[in-house]
DNA sequence: TATGAATGAGATTTCATTCAT
DNA sequence: AATGAATGAAATCTCATTCAT
C-alpha cells in the first residue's frame, strides 16, 4: 500500500513539474508559440513522458486553466472579508478579479483564451471540471448577493442570475484594458472598471425614500 | 489615364476577392487553422500573389477585422431608429451587437480575437485604423446617452464613459454564450443579456418620485 | 543626334541610379539577402525596369564588382606618389588595398565574393571586362617592381609574376582579418599584414654586401 | 547500458550519414544552392529528422567545415615527413594545402566560404571549435619554422607570426586559381604558387656569406 | 521604355504525435 | 514508466523572372 501511495505521489509531482514548465513557457511566448517539444526540453523530460501524463496538448493546457481558476478562487477567498457588508464583498471580488488579471496575466490570458476562442470544444469530463472550478468563483458572488437580499439591502433579484451578469461585466470591462492606449486614452481604465461595478451595485441597492 | 484607374479598380477587386476567401476559411476553420496556403489554393491564386497584396498574415487578418468593425457599424446604423427614444436606441444597439455576434460569428470572433489575444501588437497606423472603426460604433451609443441626458431622462453622466462601459458590458455578456451548456445551462443567454442591459438602463434613468 | 545623346545620357543615369540602390542594399544586408524586388522598391522603379537595364541579377552585381575594381584602381592611383621609391610605392599600394578593404568593405566583399565563390562562371565578355579592370591595379604593382629592377634595387625577377604573387599575398592576408578575435587574438592584424609585405620586399631587394 | 551505447553509436552514424549527403550536394551545386529539403530527400530522411540532428542549416554546414579542417590536418600530417628538413616540411605543407584545395575542392570551398563571407557570425562555442581545428594545421607550420630557427637555418623570427603569414599566403595564392583563364592565362598557377613559397623561404633563410 | 501583377517553386523551420525499445 | 528518434505535413514567406499592357 505504501508503494502505491508513493507512486501516486511521484506521479503528481511529475505532473506539476510539467505544468510548471508549461506555465512558464506560456507566460513567455503565448499559447500558440508554446510547443510540447519545448516543454519537454525545458522540463528535462522526454516528449514521450509528457504524453504519458497528458493525453494531448489540449489536456495539458486545460489543466493549466483549471489551475488558474483555482488560483483565482483562492485569491477571491483570501480577499473577501467574511464580516464585511455584501456591497463591500462584491467590490472586493471585483477588485480581486482585476488584480488577478493584472498580476497573473498569464493565467488570466489562458482562462480568457478558452472562453473566447471560437473553436475549442473540450471533451465533456474536462469541460465539467473546468466549469465546476469556474463556478466556485461565481458562487462567492452569488452568496454576497443573496446575503444582501436577506439583509434587505438589495432588491429581491435572482442572486445567481445577477452573479453571472456581474461576472460578465467584470470580464468585459477587464478586456477593455487593451484599448487603454487608443480608444481609452483619455479615460483611466481602473476608474472606469470600478465605475461599472458601482453602477451595478446602484441598480441592485434598495433606495430608501 | 483610364489605364491607371482600371488597374486601381482591379487591384481593389483582387484584394476583396482574397479577403472573401480568407473570411470564408476563417469561418470554417477558425483563425488559427486558416493558413495563407489555403487561402491561396481556395482563391485560385499563388501564394506569392497573396503576399503581393498583403504584407503578411497579420495585415490580412487586420483588414478582415476592419471589415468586421465596419459591418458592425453599418448594422447598428441600420437598426437604430433615429426617431426612437434614447432608451430604445440603446436597446436596439445592444440587440444589434448580439445579433451581429450570432449572425456574423466569424467577424465577431476575429474582432474578439484581436481584442483578447494576449500578444498581438499592431503597427501604430493599423492600430489607429482599427480603433477609429471601433470608435464609430461606440459613438452611436454615446449619442444616444447624450440625447437621453438632454431630454432629462438620464442622469447627467459623462456620455462617453458610460458608452464605453456599456460596450464592455455587451462584450462580456456575449462571451458568456460559450457557457450556455454548462454554467448557464439553466439560464437563457439572451434573456440574461437583455437583463444586463435593462439593469444598466435602470441605473441611468432618472426616477420620478 | 542631340536626341540620341540625351537618351544615352538618361540611360546611364538610370543605370547608376539602380546601381546606387543595389550597392546600398548590398552593404546593408549582404549579397544573398539583396533581392531584385527590394532594389526595385527602394529605387522607386519597377522590377521590369531593372530587367530592362540588366539582363539578370548576376549582371547587376557584376557591374557593381567592376565599379569596385575601378574605385580600387583610383584609390591606388591617388595614393601612390609617382616620385617615390619603388619600395615606397609598393608599400603604398599594399596599404591602399588594406584601407580599401576596410573603408569600402562592401566593395571588397563583392570583389572577394566573385573571386572565391565556388561556382559563378561569368559569360566571357563580362569576364573580360572584370579582368581588365582588375588588371589595372595589378599593373601599378608591376610598374613599381619593374622600376625597382631598372634602378638596380630589386633582383631581376619577372615583374608581372611578382606583382601577381604580391597581389595574392595582399588578398590572403586581408582575409585573415576575420580571425582577429580568435586565432589572431594575440596578434595585431595590421602589423601582421605589413610584416608580410616587408618580408616580400626583403626577398625582392638586392642586398649590398 | 549496452542500449545507451548502441543508441549513441547509431546517432553518430545518422549524423555522418546526413553530413555525407550534405557534402555531396555541396560539391554538386555549391553552398547556396544546397537546401535542407534536398539533403533530406537525398538521404532518405524526413526534413524533421535533419532538424533533429542539427539545430539549423548553419550548424550543419559548420559541422562540414570542421570535418574539412580535420581532413586537411590529417592530410598535412600524412604528407609531412617528420625526418625532413624544416624547409622541406614547409614545402610539403604548402603542397599539401594546394592538393587539398584541388582534390577536396568542396571542403576547400566551404572553409573558404566561411572565411571570406562577409556576414556569418557563429555562436561562440562553434567558433571556438572551428578555430581550434584550423589552428591545428597552422601549428604544423609553426613547429617547422621553430625547428628551422633552432637549427640555425632560419632567422630568429616569431614562429607563430610567420606561420600565420604563411597561411595567409597559401590562402591568397590558391584563390588566384580562379584567374587561371584570364589574368593568369600566361602564367602557370602551380608554378606561381610554389614561387611564392620559395620567396617566403628565401626571406626566412639565413644566408651564409 | 516602363510598369507591376502574377507565378510557382522552393527556402527554412516547427509541430503534435507515435512507437519500438 | 520513460525515452527519444522519426515522421511528414504544414506553416510562413521570398525570389528571380516573365509578360501583357
Supply the DSSP string of C34-88, one letter for each residue: --HHHHHHHTT--HHHHHHHSSSHHHHHHHHHHHHHHHHHHHHHHHS-TTS-HHH
Total number of domains constituting chain A: 2
CA distance D11 to chain C (A): 31
Return all residues near B62 (Cβ < 8 A) that are at least 6 apart: B114, B122, B126, B130
Tell me if B173 and A165 make a contact (CB, 8 A cut-off): yes
Give the pLDDT band of residue A114 (cuts 50, 70, 90): confident
Buried b (16+ CB within 10 A) or exposed e, D10-38: eeeebeeebbebbbebbbeebbeebeeee
Quick count: other Cβ atoms within 10 Å of Cβ B200?
A: 23
Question: Is B122:B115 a contact under the CB 8 Å cutoff?
Answer: no
Collapsed DSSP state (helix, strand, coil) of residue C135? helix
Task: In whole angstroms, give the CA distance from residue D156 to residue C103.
Answer: 35
pLDDT at A125: 72
Segment A8-11 long-range contacts (CB within 8 Å, at least 24 positions apart) = A11/A53
A24 burial type by CB count under 10 A (0-12 exposed, 13-18 middle, 19+ buried): middle
Contact yes or no, D with B (3+ CB pairs under 8 Å): no
Tell me if A175 and B178 make a contact (CB, 8 A cut-off): no
Alpha helices by DSSP H, listed for chain A, are 2-29, 36-42, 47-53, 57-79, 86-103, 105-116, 124-150, 159-175, 189-204
Mean pLDDT of B51-56: 93
Is C82's Cβ below 8 Å from some Cβ in D? no
Q: Any idea which nucleotide's C1' is nearest the CA of A51?
A: E17
Residues D83 and D180 grouped into a single domain: yes
D160 burial type by CB count under 10 A (0-12 exposed, 13-18 middle, 19+ buried): middle
| Angle, CA D107 vertex, CA D102 and CA D109 arms, to 5° | 80
Percent of chain B with pLDDT over 70: 93
Checking if the pLDDT of C123 tops 60, the result is yes
Checking if the pLDDT of B209 tops 60, the result is no
pLDDT at D5: 80
Is A173's Cβ below 8 Å from some Cβ in B? yes
pLDDT at D171: 93
| Angle, CA D27 vertex, CA D26 and CA D33 arms, to 5° | 40
Residues B85 and B33 grouped into a single domain: no
Residue C182 lies in a domain: yes
Residues C34 and C101 grouped into a single domain: no
Give the pLDDT band of residue A88 (cuts 50, 70, 90): very high
Question: Is B81:B88 a contact under the CB 8 Å cutoff?
Answer: yes
Task: In whole angstroms, give the CA distance from residue C37 to residue C25.
Answer: 11
Task: In whole angstroms, give the CA distance from residue B192 to residue B171.
Answer: 13
Residues C196 and C184 grouped into a single domain: yes
pLDDT tens digit string along C21-32?
A: 998 888 777 777
What backbone phi and psi angles, to 5 degrees, belong to D31? -60, -45
CA distance B7 to chain A (A): 35
Give the pLDDT band of residue A118 (cuts 50, 70, 90): low
D residues 89..118 contacting C (CB < 8 A): 105-106, 109, 112-113, 115-118
Checking if the pLDDT of C183 tops 60, the result is yes
Give the pLDDT band of residue B123 (cuts 50, 70, 90): low
CA distance A53 to chain B (A): 26
Which residue in B186, B180, B182 sits closest to A135, CA to CA? B182
Task: In whole angstroms, give the CA distance from residue C167 to residue C173.
Answer: 10
Tell me if A199 and B202 make a contact (CB, 8 A cut-off): no
Residue B209 lies in a domain: no
Is D84's Cβ below 8 Å from some Cβ in C? no
Task: In whole angstroms, give the CA distance from residue D34 to residue D21.
Answer: 10
Listed range (A73-77, A186-190, D192-196) with the worst mean pLDDT: A186-190
Residues C34 and C136 grouped into a single domain: no
pLDDT tens digit string along C94-111?
A: 999 999 999 988 788 888
pLDDT at B131: 79
Query: Could you tell me which residues are beta bridge partners of residue B171?
Result: none
Q: Which of C112, C132, C142, C169 to mutate to test the interface with D (most CBs of D within 10 A)?
A: C169
Listed range (B159-163, C14-18, D51-55) with the worst mean pLDDT: C14-18
Residue C209 lies in a domain: no
Return mean pLDDT, chain B.
Answer: 87
Question: Which residue, A54, A81, A99, sits at the end of a domain?
Answer: A54
Checking if the pLDDT of C3 tops 80, the result is no
Give the pLDDT band of residue C138 (cuts 50, 70, 90): very high
Question: Which residue, C33, C54, C75, sits at the end of a domain?
Answer: C54
Residues A72 and A168 grouped into a single domain: yes
Could you tell me the CA-to-CA distances from B52 to B31, B45, C50 in Å, in that order?
21, 11, 18
| Angle, CA A42 vertex, CA A36 and CA A43 arms, to 5° | 85
Residues D101 and D195 grouped into a single domain: yes
Task: In whole angstroms, give the CA distance from residue B70 to residue B73.
Answer: 5
Using CA of residue A84, residue A161, residue B108, residue B72, what is the dihedral sign? negative
Q: What is the CATH number of the domain that holds C13?
A: 1.10.10.60
Percent of chain C with pLDDT over 70: 94
Q: Point out the residue among D112, D164, D200 whose CB comes nearest to the CB of C116.
A: D112
pLDDT at D29: 78
Q: Which residues on chain A are in Cβ contact (under 8 Å) with B69?
A: none
Question: Is B53:B131 a contact under the CB 8 Å cutoff?
Answer: no
Checking if the pLDDT of A48 tops 80, the result is yes
Give the pLDDT band of residue B119 (cuts 50, 70, 90): low
pLDDT tens digit string along A160-191?
A: 999 999 999 999 999 998 888 777 778 889 99
For residue C7, give its domain range.
Answer: 1-54
Chain F nucleotides covered by protein, CB below 7 Å: 1-21
A142 burial type by CB count under 10 A (0-12 exposed, 13-18 middle, 19+ buried): buried
Question: Is A189:A177 a contact under the CB 8 Å cutoff?
Answer: yes
pLDDT tens digit string along D17-44?
A: 999 999 888 877 777 788 999 999 999 9
Return all residues near A17 (Cβ < 8 A) that are at least 6 apart: A43, A45
**Does nucleic acid strand F have an atom less than 7 angstroms from the CB of B42?**
no
As given in the structure block, the three cell numbers for residue A122 are 473540450
Highest mean pLDDT among A148-157, B13-22, B127-136: A148-157
More confident: A145 or B126: A145
Tell me if B118 and A109 make a contact (CB, 8 A cut-off): yes
Residues B111 and B166 grouped into a single domain: yes
Checking if the pLDDT of B120 tops 70, the result is no
Buried b (16+ CB within 10 A) or exposed e, A84-111: eebbebbbbbbbbbbebbeebebbbbbb
Q: What is the CATH number of the domain that holds C199?
A: 1.10.357.10
Residues B68 and B39 grouped into a single domain: no
Tell me if A131 and B199 make a contact (CB, 8 A cut-off): no
pLDDT at A116: 67
Question: Is A89:A144 a contact under the CB 8 Å cutoff?
Answer: yes
pLDDT at D179: 83
Question: Is C196:C169 a contact under the CB 8 Å cutoff?
Answer: yes
Residue A151 lies in a domain: yes
Residue C8 lies in a domain: yes
Checking if the pLDDT of B185 tops 70, the result is yes
Contact yes or no, C with D (3+ CB pairs under 8 Å): yes
Task: In whole angstroms, give the CA distance from residue A154 to residue A85.
Answer: 11
pLDDT at C76: 94
Listed range (B3-7, B142-146, D100-104, D197-201) with the worst mean pLDDT: B3-7
Question: Is C176:D164 a contact under the CB 8 Å cutoff?
Answer: yes
Mean pLDDT of B6-34: 85
Among all chains, which residue has been given the C-alpha cell 448557464? B184
Residues D40 and D86 grouped into a single domain: no
Percent of chain B with pLDDT over 90: 51
User: Tell me, what DSSP letter sits at residue B186?
Assistant: T
Residue D123 lies in a domain: yes
Return mean pLDDT, chain D.
Answer: 87
Residue A209 lies in a domain: no
Alpha carbons within 13 A on the beta-carbon side of B70: 8
pLDDT at A120: 55
Mean pLDDT of C144-157: 96
Which residue in A88, A182, A92 sits closest to A137, CA to CA? A92
pLDDT tens digit string along A128-162?
A: 778 888 889 999 999 999 999 999 999 999 999 99
Tell me if A196 and B165 make a contact (CB, 8 A cut-off): yes
Task: In whole angstroms, give the CA distance from residue D182 to residue C125.
Answer: 11
Residues C17 and C63 grouped into a single domain: no
Task: In whole angstroms, give the CA distance from residue C96 to residue C67.
Answer: 17
Highest mean pLDDT among A109-123, B88-102, C184-198, D104-118: B88-102
Tell me if C178 and D116 make a contact (CB, 8 A cut-off): yes
Task: In whole angstroms, give the CA distance from residue B128 to residue A26.
Answer: 28
Q: Could you tell me how many residues make up chain C? A: 209
Give the pLDDT band of residue C172 (cuts 50, 70, 90): very high
Return all residues near D90 (Cβ < 8 A) that are at least 6 apart: D141, D144, D145, D148, D166, D197, D201
Question: Is D138:D97 a contact under the CB 8 Å cutoff?
Answer: no
Checking if the pLDDT of C165 tops 90, the result is yes
Could you tell me the CA-to-CA distances from D70 to A131, A137, C177, C183, D134 in Å, in that order?
62, 66, 22, 16, 8
Could you tell me the CA-to-CA distances from C37 to B62, C34, C114, D66, D204 in Å, in that order?
25, 8, 22, 36, 53
Could you tell me the CA-to-CA distances from C24 to B128, C29, C54, C75 in Å, in that order?
33, 9, 17, 20
Highest mean pLDDT among B116-120, B146-150, C38-42, C202-206: B146-150
Checking if the pLDDT of D127 tops 80, the result is no
pLDDT at C129: 79
Chain E nucleotides covered by protein, CB below 7 Å: 1-21
Segment A178-181 long-range contacts (CB within 8 Å, at least 24 positions apart) = A178/B115, A178/B116, A179/B115, A179/B131, A179/B134
Question: Is B135:B154 a contact under the CB 8 Å cutoff?
Answer: no
Q: What is the distance in angstroms measured between the alpha-carbon CA of D51 and the sugar C1' of E14? A: 10
Chains in contact with chain D (at least 3 beta-carbon pairs closer than 8 A): C
Listed range (B11-20, B175-184, C15-24, D151-160) with the worst mean pLDDT: B175-184
pLDDT tens digit string along D172-181?
A: 999 998 888 7
**Does nucleic acid strand F have an atom less than 7 angstroms from the CB of B31?**
no
As given in the structure block, the three cell numbers for residue D166 are 604563411
pLDDT tens digit string along B186-200?
A: 888 999 999 999 999
Among all chains, which residue has been given the C-alpha cell 617547422? D144
Checking if the pLDDT of C193 tops 70, the result is yes
Mean pLDDT of C45-51: 94
Which residue in D114, D34, D29, D39 sits closest to D69, CA to CA? D114
Checking if the pLDDT of D209 tops 60, the result is no
Return mean pLDDT, chain C.
Answer: 87
Checking if the pLDDT of D120 tops 60, the result is no
Residue A158 lies in a domain: yes
Q: Which residues on chain B are in Cβ contact (under 8 Å) with A182?
A: 127-128, 131
Q: What is the distance in angstroms measured between the alpha-carbon CA of B46 and the sugar C1' of E6? A: 8
Residues C89 and C44 grouped into a single domain: no
Mean pLDDT of C171-191: 86
Buried b (16+ CB within 10 A) or exposed e, C86-98: bbebbbbbbbbbb
Amino acid at each position: 500500500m505504501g508503494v502505491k501511495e508513493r507512486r501516486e505521489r511521484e506521479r503528481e509531482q511529475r505532473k506539476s513539474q510539467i505544468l510548471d514548465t508549461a506555465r512558464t513557457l506560456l507566460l513567455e511566448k503565448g499559447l500558440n508559440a508554446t510547443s510540447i517539444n519545448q516543454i519537454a526540453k525545458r522540463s528535462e523530460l522526454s516528449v514521450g513522458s509528457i504524453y504519458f501524463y497528458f493525453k494531448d496538448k489540449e489536456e495539458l493546457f486545460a489543466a493549466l486553466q483549471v489551475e488558474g481558476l483555482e488560483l483565482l478562487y483562492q485569491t477571491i477567498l483570501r480577499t473577501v472579508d467574511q464580516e464585511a457588508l455584501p456591497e463591500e464583498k462584491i467590490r472586493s471580488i471585483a477588485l480581486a478579479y482585476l488584480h488577478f488579471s493584472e498580476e497573473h496575466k498569464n493565467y488570466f490570458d489562458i482562462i480568457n483564451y478558452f472562453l473566447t476562442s471560437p473553436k475549442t470544444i473540450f471533451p465533456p469530463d474536462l469541460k465539467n471540471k473546468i466549469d465546476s472550478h469556474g463556478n466556485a468563483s461565481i458562487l462567492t458572488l452569488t452568496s454576497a448577493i443573496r446575503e444582501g437580499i436577506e439583509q434587505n439591502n438589495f432588491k429581491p433579484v435572482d442572486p445567481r442570475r445577477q452573479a453571472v451578469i456581474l461576472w460578465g461585466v467584470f470580464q468585459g470591462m477587464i478586456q477593455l484594458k487593451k484599448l487603454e492606449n487608443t480608444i481609452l486614452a483619455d479615460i483611466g481604465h481602473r476608474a472606469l472598471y470600478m465605475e461599472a461595478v458601482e453602477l451595478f451595485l446602484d441598480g441592485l441597492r434598495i433606495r430608501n425614500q
